[in-house]
């Protein structure tokens, strides 16, 4: 048992060390969510009353008119609307949106949507996530598929990046 506990601590330390390069350039934005645009985009109002459009990192939710898009938006609203959140971010996308991980209390909202089966883990951008987040998001999607939960209950869910084409 002692060896298992030590191995667990070593693994945790290694994952933390692998995450450090990503955390080095990270910024934090805190405020209240005033609008949920869709399943993976919201508007946050900061303490200076400045609105920031935020794209949730590491996930891709169904597009409007795509099955499960309404449920994904509802879930993001349940998790974040009119609540104080923190966004850990380090980039903007081509639309100038902040791309980040939304945290409410101790909940990773992005990860919750993956666990609920309401989005895809966006493997295309996995290298922008910490090693820990990559592992958590991949595992959450695998479990949602196996259950099957949310969009994974459909026989052939179409990923949004294919739908957009």
Q: Which residues are part of the catalytic machinery?
A: 55, 63, 97
Beta bridge mates, 98: 54, 92
Helix residue ranges, H only, 65-117: 69-80, 109-115
Phi and psi dihedrals of 44, rounded to 5? -115, 135
CA 71 to chain CA centroid, Å, is: 16
| 95 token code pair | 């639309």
Give the angle subtended at the CA of 93 by the CAs of 87 and 99, to the nearest 5°.
Answer: 15
Report the distance separating Cα 25 and Cα 41, nearest Å.
Answer: 22
């Amino acid at each position: 048992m002692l060896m298992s506990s030590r191995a667990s601590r070593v693994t945790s330390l290694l994952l933390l060390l692998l995450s450090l390069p990503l955390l080095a350039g990270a910024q934090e934005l805190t405020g209240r969510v005033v609008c949920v645009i869709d399943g993976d985009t919201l508007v946050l109002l900061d303490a200076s009353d400045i609105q920031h459009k935020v794209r949730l990192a590491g996930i891709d939710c169904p597009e409007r008119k795509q099955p499960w898009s309404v449920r994904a938006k509802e879930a993001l609203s349940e998790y974040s609307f009119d609540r104080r959140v923190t966004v850990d971010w380090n980039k903007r996308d081509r639309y100038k949106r902040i791309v980040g991980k939304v945290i409410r209390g101790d909940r990773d909202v992005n990860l919750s949507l993956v666990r609920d089966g309401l989005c895809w883990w966006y493997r295309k951008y996995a290298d922008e996530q910490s090693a820990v987040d990559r592992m958590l998001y991949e595992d959450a999607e695998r479990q949602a598929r196996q259950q099957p939960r949310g969009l994974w209950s459909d026989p052939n869910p179409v990923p949004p990046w294919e739908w957009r084409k």
